[in-house]
Amino acid sequence: MDELEPQDMMHLNAAEGWLGLGDLIEASAELQQITPAKRMHPAVLEVRHNLCAQAKCWEECLVMAEALVALAPEATFGWIHRSFALHELKRTQEALDRLRPALTFFKDDITVHYNLACYECVLGNLGAAKLRLAAAFKLARKQNCVGEWQAQMSQDPDLKPLWKDGDEIEN
């Protein structure tokens, strides 16, 4: 994919800044300043997706993530966020089914394993959820980031069914 021109990068960076400040209107205005032919660039789609996610516009997030999977299948962003949008749209089985193939390409990505665990858990597949979480924690240990994943897991409402019966995850 072609690189963005400096002026388009300036608008993209400004949009990211506005998003960081929580100003979705200004972020959107900056994205509108990007050359129309470059609005389908993966970097622009990611920021547009993040804007839509902050606004909880999950259908739009799904559209952006689908485009990202098609344009940049080698990047995890589209895969992960496509399934997250599906999950937010209460299409969790589809989220699981669409993310599973990502394991072929991203077998060492903690987020892929973790999100699959969440979807399995929400669907009531607690055994599969535990196995997927164990894989995520094995990777987290290897990457020296177990603490942050434990903190996330303990706050994740999708994983609540695991704790209702006093279950513990091996980590």
Cα 10–Cα 16–Cα 22 angle in degrees, nearest 5: 140
Task: Give the integer Cα–Cα distance in Å for 83 and 58.
Answer: 11
Decide: 133 and 117 in contact? Cβ < 8 Å: yes
Phi, psi at 24, each rounded to 5°: -70, -30
Q: How many CB atoms lie within 10 A of CB 143?
A: 11
**pLDDT band with cut points at 50, 70 and 90 for residue 41:** very high
Q: What is the pLDDT of residues 52-98, one digit of tens each?
A: 999 999 999 999 999 999 999 999 999 999 999 999 999 999 999 99
pTM for the structure as a whole: 0.90
**Sequence letter at residue 70:** A
Task: Give the integer Cα–Cα distance in Å for 41 and 77.
Answer: 14
